[in-house]
Chain A
Amino acid sequence: MPDLEQRIAAWRAEMVRAGLSSTALDELEAHLRDQTSELIRSGLSEETAFQNATRKLGNPAAMRKEFEKVHHSPRSEAKLNIAIWTSALLLLAVGMAAKDFSHDRNSLLLFANVFMLTAGYLCVFLSGSVGIIYAIGRWTQKLTPAKEDSLGNAARGFNRLAAVLAGAGFMLGAIWARLSLGKFFNADPREIGTLCVFGWLLLTIIMCRTPRASLPMTIGGSMFVCIAWLGAGMWSSGLHSYGATSYWPLEILVAAHLLFLALALLPVNVIHLGKAQS
Chain B
Amino acid sequence: MITKELVAASAEPMILSLLTKGETYGYAIIQEIKKLSGDKIEWTDGMLYPVLHRLEDRGLIQSRWAEAENGRKRKYYSLKNDGKKALKKQREQWLTVHDTLAKLWEEKYA
Binding site for B on A (CB under 8 A): 24, 26-28, 30-31, 33-35, 37, 56-60, 62-63, 66-67, 69-71, 73, 144-146
Contacts and interface: CB of A to CB of B under 8 A. Distances in A.
A69 B72 CA distance: 29
Q: Which of B26, B51, B53, B57: most chain A Cβ within 10 A?
A: B53
B interface SS class: helix
Interface of B: 25-27, 44-47, 49-51, 53-54, 56-57, 63, 68, 70, 72-75
A77 B53 CA distance: 18
Contacts of B57: 70, 73, 146
A24 B54 CA distance: 12
B27 A30 contact: yes
A33 B46 contact: no
Given A33-B70, A67-B50, A58 B44 contact: yes
Contacts of B74: 30
Contact of B47 (A33, A63, A71, A73): A63
The 4 closest A-B pairs by CB, nearest first: A66-B50, A58-B46, A58-B44, A34-B27
Contact of A27 (B26, B51, B68, B70): B26
B45 A62 contact: no
Contacts of B56: 144, 146
B57 to A, nearest CB: 5
Nearest to B51: A66
A30 B75 contact: yes
Contacts of A58: 44-47
25 contacts: A24-B53, A26-B73, A27-B75, A30-B68, A31-B26, A31-B49, A35-B27, A56-B44, A58-B45, A58-B47, A59-B46, A60-B46, A62-B44, A62-B47, A63-B49, A63-B50, A66-B47, A66-B51, A67-B53, A70-B50, A70-B57, A71-B53, A144-B63, A145-B53, A146-B53
A116 B56 CA distance: 40
Given A28-B46, A30-B27, A30-B72, 5 more contacts: A56-B44, A57-B44, A62-B47, A67-B49, A146-B53
B85 to A, nearest CB: 21
A28 B44 CA distance: 12
A55 to B, nearest CB: 9
| Residue from B25, B27, B70, B75 whose CB has the most chain A CB atoms within 10 Å | B27
B49 A24 contact: yes
A34 B69 CA distance: 11
B36 to A, nearest CB: 17
